[in-house]
Amino acid sequence: MDGDGLARSGAAGAARGKAVRSIEAGSPASGTIIEVGDVVKRIDGHAIADVLDYMYHSYGRRPLVELRGRGGGAKLVRFRKREGEDLGLRFEEPLMD
């Protein structure tokens, strides 16, 4: 789903990813198909290994986030946001490996 509410699904990459612990109210991620427990795998095709990857690859205005849903299914979310605006995802464990 993009920031305007359009849902998409597809194959998530093979990246390990990080599980979402919470979603900030009022953030670009709130109101999307992203749920607590989903795993962020890639942003714009780049594997997310740490907080620097997450911040760098989500910086743009239209990042495409690939996730694995809690049930194992793939999710794709295209955001529309201000450049540099945080997506609003918080993670179960620190992103630094």
The structure tokens 């955001």 sit at: 79
Decide the pairing of beta strands 89-91 and 18-23.
antiparallel
Asked if 75 contacts 38 with a C-beta cutoff of 8 angstroms, the reply is yes
Please state the pTM of the whole predicted model: 0.79
Decide the pairing of beta strands 64-68 and 74-78.
antiparallel
- The predicted-structure confidence for 41-74, as pLDDT tens digits, reads as follows 999 999 988 878 888 999 999 999 999 999 999 9
C-alpha 73/C-alpha 50 separation (Å) is 23
User: What pLDDT is attached to residue 57?
Assistant: 97
What integer is the mean pLDDT of 26-42? 96
Asked if 39 contacts 18 with a C-beta cutoff of 8 angstroms, the reply is yes
